[in-house]
Structure 1
């Protein structure tokens, strides 16, 4: 078994955690402000991955309304974009009970701009293939990135990054996973090696010793993985003298920002790590944080992880990531009004929302899919509305601060283009008139690693370019990645559904 293709989950796929159950590997990612949340992928060979479900797949499970993106200016003049919502999950399987658990944090941004509220919770299932996950069981923990560890005696422990940052610490306590009740006092077990934001902890036990693997240095260019060990689960933990065991910091590697790792064994006993990383071509890294596989070994006293590399083999795959059934990969923004979204095959009908993509307080009529490939295209045909002040189009979206889109504006009878990045103070627009009697408009986005090209067809076969976006314009230090989808908004009381047909995206 070997990985011929990296990233293993391309596109918007940060903070991977992996659990092997029998002969199958299961991987879960963060989703922040998008619903459904916490996608679960399955693979038997660590190469071909299938989306089998989402652990947060019912809006009744929790609310993502207060998961806006905050702008944090940095000392170097750049801006970090921090999105709330579903942070780094961990997936673990209990062989005793047969249950599979995902433990996670929903970070709530209070409307009064107070301190972030981490709502930590556990969901479980008796059958990971069923896509039937429990309602969240909440537990008290003032931090993020919780992880589960069972000791040999069956006791369950939760470790996490206790905040606020940047000098967080790693805490540990025994817990009842069925109720969330703490069964012990919470104890700080490690402060890391000195890097900022010690987080993303996982505990492993090997040869009678407890190993604590964490991330440090923040989630951008100084991201790194460090490890410590102890004879007792409660510590003291001694850091490895060769820390960090994984990082791209200080290099000019194409695959950069490597970190937030979960290590595991295959059925042959070989060791692997699943980590996040970013493909960075200079100042262009529009795809954001993706899931990569790194080989390693544990032949000595400490685990060793190899350099994370990328493969171009994705270009030869028709489907980079498959899904077990249609509809699993659709994404909505926060607490969307799902009744305003009707999807049948490649036809989508949206009831226009009163609010647009540039805000987070109210729902927006939008549905899309992750951009999986560096090079590809997306397109859709829009049935031109005949009444109301409606805007309906195609967008490459990250959050309320960053998107690039092309749409038909019924009030001006024109096709419009816009690129917005508030973190870089970018707001550029253009528009062109189209015929008053047009019935349908074809909208297209062609994309490469360097640029996004926004086009439209008023007449079949006659393609016009309205806007070009350098991917640097949408590249930031952030948490999320691009999602390509359709949207419909209105400035009046229009309730007529907008029909989008032949929605296609290279996946």
Structure 2
């Protein structure tokens, strides 16, 4: 098999994989963007189809920061019951309180359907839960317990249908000394229980370590050759590799799927993506993983990631008011929100799709509002702290460009007056690995550049990745803003 990397490009962190028959299913984190938990399917680990997404916004009085929301899901199939499970953490931010992790399980009898159960919540003070069934059918949940950098790996027996703990929770491993021991997965092979975890944080010191025990409760002995996967201390193009899940294909070949970041100096605009790595696991031996490499990737493919249903690849910000978003083919109608994308407490009128390619173009035609005062346009969005956009301010009749990265204290703005009496205006962004060029056309074929962004300006230790979309905001109640001919190579 020829490996194509990244297998899920763009905003696709924390991958987990399970195989059902001859098909592999992969799920990612989505953090504060909705719908959550995208599920991809593949028969060859190269060509992937987005088959469904599982969680929609809900109004429950809580909000999510960019580092909140849906963390590190694990997907598992129980061959005995025929059920498929996703276990996950939703990190909320209640008013006047700290982060609040809510852990839950959802299940389905048919992964191809949209018929998933409601979430079953269980008591666990931590993140990154994973499911393991022992040979007698006993179900266990392991996860990263506690806040702060020195978390521990906890284990307990559970009833997956109710979330009830059937045993005491026990700390089974603290890792090898790296910060944030997390993302645990348990595998049983050759009479040993193997515990695979991430350490070192999810960026430049990220690494995968492993321990084993003859008893699921431990004690666990660390592999002398840890870490078995890392790019720390190297100049590898694919960096920050970690958060790995291991699995076998139908020919018993071992693989690992992990997150990584394509880094060119200080530029890593695409964020954390899903990569495939060859694994080796001989009888009685420790698992090994090869170095993660990027390939010439998907330039020969018509689509990087296919979808099998209309609209699956649209993304919204947090608790979006879906009544204010109308999508009909390439036409988008947004009722402007009073809150802008620069904040995290209120709903925002925004919809977009993940940037899947390093090089490409996105464009949309904005029908200029005849009344009211709104700001609407095209944006490359990561979170409330990092975005860049070109938009029309209908109150002042100007075209504006803006780039914001609060982490790097970057805030730039430029603007130009509209010179013609056109009824619409085309907004464009050309993007490469190195830069983003924002342009507009008042007259067809006459393109003006308003802003250029070095992708290093938007590169941070992000949880999320770039989403290209449209937005509309206003300080007053306004009629719908209409966008035509939204084009995005993805």
Partner of 2:99: 116
Residue 174, structure 1, aligned to residue 157, structure 2: yes
Q: State which of 53, 62, 67 in structure 1 corresponds to 2:64.
A: 67
Partners of 2:420 and 2:436 in 1: how far apart? Answer: 28
1:419–1:426 CA contact under 8 A, matched in 2: yes
Distance 2:465 2:107 in 1: 27
Alignment partners' CA distance in 1, 2:132 and 2:231: 28
1:308 — aligned with what? 292
2:72 aligned counterpart, secondary structure: coil
Instruction: Name structure 2 gaps, 5 residues minimum.
Output: none
Query: Is 1:370 paired with 2:367?
Result: no
Q: In the alignment, which of 247, 253, 258 is matched to residue 230 of structure 2?
A: 247
Tell whether the 8 Å contact from 2:62 to 2:93 is kept in structure 1 after alignment. Answer: no
Any conservation in 2 of the 1:9–1:292 contact (CA below 8 Å)? Answer: yes
Counterpart CA distance in 2 for 1:170 and 1:249 is 22
Which residue is equivalent to 1:78? none
The DSSP-based 3-state class of the residue aligned with 2:456 is helix
Q: Residue 64 of structure 1: CA displacement?
A: 9.3
Q: Give the secondary structure class of the aligned counterpart of 1:249.
A: coil
In structure 2, what is the equivalent of residue 161 of structure 1?
Answer: 144
Corresponding residue SS for 1:313: coil
Secondary structure class of the residue paired with 2:299: helix
Q: CA deviation at 1:341?
A: 0.3
Counterpart residue number, 1:14: 13
Q: Does the 8 Å CA contact 1:18/1:274 hold for their aligned counterparts?
A: yes
| Cα distance in 2, alignment partners of residues 15 and 337 from structure 1 | 27
- Say if 2:305 is the partner of 1:321: yes
Q: How many residues align?
A: 489
**TM-score (ref. length: structure 2):** 0.98
Runs of 4+ in 1 over 3 A off after TM superposition: 62-65
Instruction: Report the secondary structure of 2:457's partner residue.
Output: helix
> Relative to structure 1, is the Cα distance of residues 315 and 373 closer, same or farther in structure 2, using a 3 angstrom cutoff?
same
User: Is the contact made by 1:2 and 1:46 (CA closer than 8 Å) also made in structure 2?
Assistant: no
The separation in 1 between residues aligned to 2:286 and 2:63, in whole angstroms, is: 41
Deviations 1:249-275 (A, max 9, x none): 000000000000000000000000000
Partners of 1:351 and 1:116 in 2: CA distance:
31
CA distance in structure 1 between the partners assigned to 2:57 and 2:9 by the alignment: 26
- Alpha-carbon distance between aligned partners in 2 of 1:419 and 1:486, rounded to the nearest angstrom: 15
Q: Provide the rounded CA distance (Å) in 2 between the counterparts of 1:244 and 1:411.
A: 57
Q: Secondary structure at the match of 1:472?
A: helix
After superposing the two structures, state which structure 1 stretch, 320-329 or 307-316, moved more.
307-316
Pairing of 1:478-489 with structure 2 (within 5 A): 478-489=462-473
Q: How many angstroms does 1:63 deviate by?
A: 5.6
Q: SS in structure 2 opposite 1:339? A: helix
1:501 Cα deviation from its structure 2 partner: 0.8
Change (3 A) 1:402 1:241: same
Give the Å deviation of 1:491: 1.4
Provide the residue aligned with 1:232 in structure 2: 215
Specify whether residues 279 and 64 from structure 1 end up closer, same or farther in structure 2 by C-alpha distance, changes over 3 A only.
farther
1:391-424 deviations in whole A, cap 9, x for unaligned?
1100000011110000111011111100011111
Larger mean CA deviation between 434-443 and 36-45 belongs to 434-443
Paired position in structure 2 for 1:40 = 39
- CA–CA separation in structure 2 for the residues paired with 1:135 and 1:333: 22
- The 2-side partners of 1:353 and 1:119 are apart by 28
Tell me if the contact between 2:62 and 2:95 (Cα under 8 Å) persists in the aligned partners. no
Measure, in 2, the Cα distance between the counterparts of 1:364 and 1:504. 21
State the alpha-carbon separation in 2 of the partners of residues 259 and 321 from structure 1.
22
Matched ranges for 1:357-506 at <5 A:
357-435=341-419, 437-494=421-478, 496-506=479-489
Deviation at 1:106, TM superposition (A): 0.4
Aligned residue among 182, 186, 200 for 1:203:
186
Instruction: State the 1:436 CA deviation.
Output: 5.9
> Which secondary structure does the structure 1 equivalent of 2:382 belong to?
strand
Work out which of the residue numbers 214, 221, 246 in structure 2 matches 1:263: 246
Residue deviations 1:76-132 (CA, integer Å, cap 9, x gap):
xxxxxxx100000000011111111000000112322x3321100001111110122
CA contact (8 A) 2:375 2:394 kept: yes
What is the CA–CA distance in structure 2 between the aligned matches of 1:283 and 1:435, rounded to whole Å? 38
Superimposed CA distance per residue, residues 115-161 of structure 1 (whole angstroms, 9 cap, x where no aligned partner): 32110000111111012222111000000000000000101000000
CA distance in 2, matches of 1:172, 1:384: 57
CA distance in 2, matches of 1:67, 1:6: 31
Give the Cα separation in 1 of the matches to 2:297 and 2:16: 23
TM-score of the aligned structures, taking structure 1 as reference length: 0.95
Alignment RMSD (CA, Å)? 1.1
**1:75-94 equivalences in 2 (<5 Å):** 83-94=67-78
Q: 1:230: how far off?
A: 0.4
Compared with structure 1, are the counterparts of its residues 10 and 423 closer, same or farther at alpha carbon in structure 2 (3 Å cutoff)?
same
Query: 1:234 aligns to what SS in structure 2?
Result: coil
In the alignment, the residues of structure 2 paired with residue 147 and residue 358 of structure 1 have an alpha-carbon distance, to the nearest angstrom, of 34
Runs of 5+ unmatched residues, structure 1:
70-82
Work out whether residues 62 and 94 of structure 2, in 8 Å CA contact, stay in contact via their aligned partners in 1: no
Contact 2:206/2:241, CA 8 A, preserved across alignment:
yes
C-alpha distance in 1 between matches for 2:480 and 2:113: 33
